[in-house]
Amino acid sequence: MDKFAKMALLADFYGPLLTEKQRNVWDLHYQQDLSLSEIAEVEEISRQAVHDLLKRTERILLEYEEKLGLVDRFLLEREKLQAIQSLMESFKESDFASTEGKEICSLARQRIAELLESVNL
């Protein structure tokens, strides 16, 4: 996972614990992909101040993750769920002897897909 994806995930989990300013600048950089200079202009602060704010916010988010580990836990669960999904996809039409069996399989696949979608931030 690249740094931007990891940072976005951290903010998805712990963002509500940041101040409005921290969240705002974080969002401009990591979600809307603005450069430090562009953010400096928008926020009317120096480029260095943007840099410091982002570094400080990153430290805060990483500290929360170090204590709570919820992003790691989430990624691990998603991985396991994806493995189950793959397994369910490996059923072949010819594996079933009954319409009920096929229907259960189809419904289970759908429910797993929905669950994965709901945990995909």
74-105 b/e with 16+ CB inside 10 Å = b? eeeeeeeeeeebeebeeeeeeeeeeeeeeeeb
Residues that bind a second copy (CB under 8 A): 13-14, 16-17, 64, 67-68, 70, 77, 80-81, 83-84, 87-88, 90-92, 94-98, 100-101, 104, 107-108, 111-112, 114-115, 118-119
Q: Which long-range contacts (CB under 8 A, 24 or more apart) does 36-39 make?
A: none
CB of 68 to a second copy, least distance (A): 6
What is the smallest separation between the CB atom of 45 and a second copy, expressed in angstroms?
26
Minimum distance from residue 48 beta carbon to a second copy (Å)? 30
